[in-house]
Amino acid sequence: MKEPRVAVVTGGVAGIGRALTERLASDGFAIAVADKSDPSSLVEALHSQGVKAFGQICDVSSPDDVRAFAEATLGRFGHVDVLVMNAGIYPVSAFVDMTWAEWDRVFSINVDQLFHFTKAFLPGMLDRKWGRIVCISSTTFHAGVPMQSHYVASKGAVIGFARALAAEVGESGITVNTIAPGLVRTENTAAGTQSGLFDALAAQQAIKRTEEPADLVGPLSFLVSEDAAFITGQTLIVDGGWVRT
């Protein structure tokens, strides 16, 4: 029997990342999850569904952690076909009150992981002449929301990275794209978002309901498929029509 393609997801234990991971598993991919939280329960759940899965606690900003994760993943599966870089943080701070440490932490997680994980898995994709890289950005880059200049800048960097890398690897059967969600209701965002903000934002959207993680799984499934082989360097905005381009 043909071995399944292998997908790596960063930040795959909860929220958006878990929804993306579960969709990839249902699409037939073997799964490797890197997350700051213990992925054991997710891996066990996937195993119970007959999915080949592996997970490891990983600080995505740490070169050593990512190297160890990559070695373990490649040792188990032999290769990686799909890389989904979803892990991220989204603190709130006025710029005048922001410290360098706060700015640097956002970039070390949201941006530096792009370097670490792509360096780890792109060479194998180049060797096999096939790969799908999907980065998770945010519509805040397009809207320029206040109180998150570090976060918005980091998500702009994600889009720039994907566009530039797409131009480098397009002749090697590898696509690089970005998904830009709006404000997605997860356990973490619900706990950290001001009361009424979900409803207020939904009222500004063309589709007037709050975005859920399930709204992102179809776009990801498409971008990593053969049907999307001629789509690269693009940013797919998935926010219910809040940003209309």
Q: Which of the residues are catalytic?
A: 151
What's the rounded Cα separation, in Å, for the pair 186 and 19?
Answer: 10
Q: Give 3-state DSSP helix, strand, coil % of the chain, rounded to 5.
A: 50, 15, 35
Q: Which of 115, 88, 6 is nearest to 54 (CA)?
A: 6
Of the candidates 193, 162, 203, 192, the one whose C-alpha atom is nearest the C-alpha of residue 179 is 162
Give me the residue label for tokens 């066990």: 44
Among candidate residues 4, 230, 8, the one with its CA nearest the CA of residue 117: 8
Q: What length is written for the chain?
A: 245
What secondary structure letter does DSSP report for 180?
E
Q: How far apart are CA 154 and CA 108, in angstroms?
A: 9
Q: Which DSSP string corresponds to 127-156? A: HHT-EEEEEE--THHHHT-TT-HHHHHHHH
Cα–Cα distances in Å, from 100 out to 9, 93, 112, 155? Answer: 29, 12, 16, 18
